[in-house]
Structure 1
């Protein structure tokens, strides 16, 4: 399938890099810091208990579903308070966590493919997470980064997609949204009027996921960003379907 694309919005976590190992490493860095600076908190809240409390805080504050940073800080505040440690440690503890959270390991295809995509059309990052592209070293490839926290609502809300399109000075139908999540990225972007690309990477078992919706399909489906870059190159090189 070919169609005009004037800009691309990209999800980050599990699209450009796997997020699960990043969070594990960030929590380990936080635990080591707490052991040194707030040992009572570290003892009271080992990794499993900390994750459980983090989920509990999220459930108690549904109005913060778009703000992972605030959720994490509230979790740290409760951990420190219940352990009897200094609440002034919330910010430095979060800084340790967040620094490690931005130490990502890209999928093998991500960096080269991003260079190719950015050479063709403007890119914008559109994420529910709180990764910082400046810290990660990718901001130079993107026109801007729009997070759910900054916008005030998370994908699949149409408003965050429309806000990105407005900043790109494009109609939704001229923008291709690329992401791994079926509901947040593909279904959400589709209902907002954008074109959609599902990045359906092979899992640890070597298999790709099945698409679950009979009445709605992504416009494109690839198992890598390289395949998307190949498609965009072909679209530009074909006069009748060149991206405009």
Structure 2
């Protein structure tokens, strides 16, 4: 399939890197920090209790669903308060968590593919998560990063896609959104008028997911970002489309 692509917006978690190892690393870093600096809170809130509190936050504070940073800080303040520790510890505890959250391990193809894509068209990060591209070191490849927290609403809300297109100065029909999530990325971007690319990476056994929706299909489906870069090179062979 061929169509004009003047810019690309990209999801981050499970598109450029697997998110589960980063979250596990962050939870361990938080647990280690609590053991050293707030042992009462550490004893009161082991990992499983923190996991249940996270689920409770989702139920009790749906207005924070788009803001993972606010969710985590509220959780930490509640943890310290209930354990009888100083709630001011919430900020350094969050800092320890977030530093590890940004220690991501990219998929093998990601870095080279991002460089190839960025040489062709402007890239923008569009994520419901709170990973920081500057901390991670990828910001030079992107025009900007727009998160659900900053925008005030999460994908699949059409507004966040339209805001990105406006900043890219491109009509939605000429922006390709790339992501792994069938609902928030593909359906959301499609309904906002963007072109869509579903990154369907095989699991450890080599199996790929089936497309679960009948009413809409992605414009493109690839197993890697490298395959997307190959497609862009083939369809738009000129050196750069971003001048």
Q: Structure 2-normalised TM-score? A: 0.97
2:196 is matched with which residue? 196
Aligned to 2:120: 120
Indicate conservation of the 8 Å contact 1:154/1:160, yes or no. yes
Residues in 2 aligned to 1:194 and 1:2: alpha-carbon distance in whole angstroms: 14
2:165 corresponds to = 165
The unaligned stretches of length 5 or more in structure 1 are: none
Aligned length: 241
Map 1:70-81 onto structure 2 (within 5 A): 70-81=70-81
Normalized against structure 1, the TM-score is what?
0.97
Give the equivalent residue in structure 1 for 2:26. 26
Query: For 1:60-209, what aligned pairs fall within 5 Å after superposition?
Result: 60-209=60-209
CA RMSD of aligned residues (A): 1.2
When structure 1 is superposed on structure 2, of 119-128 and 211-220 the one drifting more is 211-220
Contact 1:4 1:243 survives alignment (8 Å): no
Paired with 2:206 and 2:68, the residues of 1 have a C-alpha distance of: 31
Could you tell me how far apart the structure 2 residues matched to 1:138 and 1:70 are?
24
- 1:45-65 deviations in whole A, cap 9, x for unaligned? 111111110111122110111
5+ residue gaps, structure 2, are: none
Tell me, in whole angstroms, the C-alpha distance in 2 between the residues paired with 1:235 and 1:4: 9
Query: What does 1:8-27 correspond to in 2, within 5 Å?
Result: 8-27=8-27
How far 1:243 sits from its partner (Å)? 6.1
Structure 1 segments (4+ residues) deviating >2 Å: none
Q: Per-residue displacement from partner, 1:43-100 (whole Å, max 9, x unpaired)? A: 1111111111011112211011100000000110111111101101000000000000
